[in-house]
Amino acid sequence: MGKIALFLLLIVNAFYSLANPWFGICVGYMFNILGPQYIWWWHFQGLRAFYLIAIPTILGFLFGAIRGALNFEIIKNKLVLFSVLYFFFVFLSYFTGPYIDVVNKWRFYDPYQVLITMLKVFIFYFIGLVCISEHKKLKYFAFILPIAALYLTYWANMQYFSGRFFIRLSGPRDITGAGMYSDENNFAMLFVTAIPFFFYLGWYFKRWYLRWGAWLVVPFAWHAIFLTASRGGLLGAGLVSLLAGLRSPKKIIGVALIPAFIIAYVWQGGSVIKQRAQTIKTYEEESSARARLEAWEAGLKMLMDNPLTGVGLASFGQAFPFYSDKTPRMAHNTFVQIAAESGIFAGLFYILFMFCCVWGLFKYRNYFLRDSLEYYLCDAVLVSLCGFLACSLFLTLNGFEIQFYLAILANTLIYLAQKSADEKQA
CA distance 52 to 67: 23
What does the pLDDT profile of the chain (426 residues) look like in tens digits? 678 888 899 999 999 999 999 999 999 999 999 999 999 998 888 788 999 999 999 999 999 999 999 999 999 999 999 999 999 999 999 999 999 999 888 888 899 999 999 999 999 999 999 999 999 999 999 999 999 999 999 999 999 888 777 667 888 998 888 888 989 999 999 999 999 999 999 999 999 999 999 999 999 999 999 999 888 899 999 999 999 999 998 888 888 888 888 888 887 655 544 455 555 555 444 556 678 889 999 999 999 999 999 999 999 999 999 999 888 888 999 999 999 999 999 999 999 999 999 999 999 999 999 999 999 999 999 999 999 999 999 999 999 999 999 999 999 999 999 988 877 776
CA dist 330 to 168, 170, 371, Å?
20, 19, 43
CA distance 267 to 290: 30
Its pTM stands at 0.94
Q: Which residues contact 426 (CB under 8 A, 6 or more apart)?
A: none
Confirm if 27 and 13 have CB atoms less than 8 A apart.
yes
Q: Which residues contact 45 (CB under 8 A, 6 or more apart)?
A: 3
Q: Is 206 exposed, middle or buried (0-12, 13-18, 19+ CB in 10 A)?
A: exposed
CA distance 163 to 193: 26
Nearest to 118 by CA among 317, 341, 304: 341
CA dist 111 to 120, 147, 312, 396, Å?
14, 32, 8, 16
Helix (H, G, I), strand (E, B) or coil at 381: helix
| Dihedral sign, Cα of residue 306, residue 309, residue 315, residue 318 | negative
Helices 373-392 and 135-142 pack at an angle, to 10 degrees, of 50
CA distance 232 to 280: 10
Q: Phi and psi at residue 96, in whole multiples of 5°?
A: -115, -15
**396 phi-psi bin (left φ>0, alpha ψ -120 to 50, beta other):** beta
| pLDDT at site 284 | 46
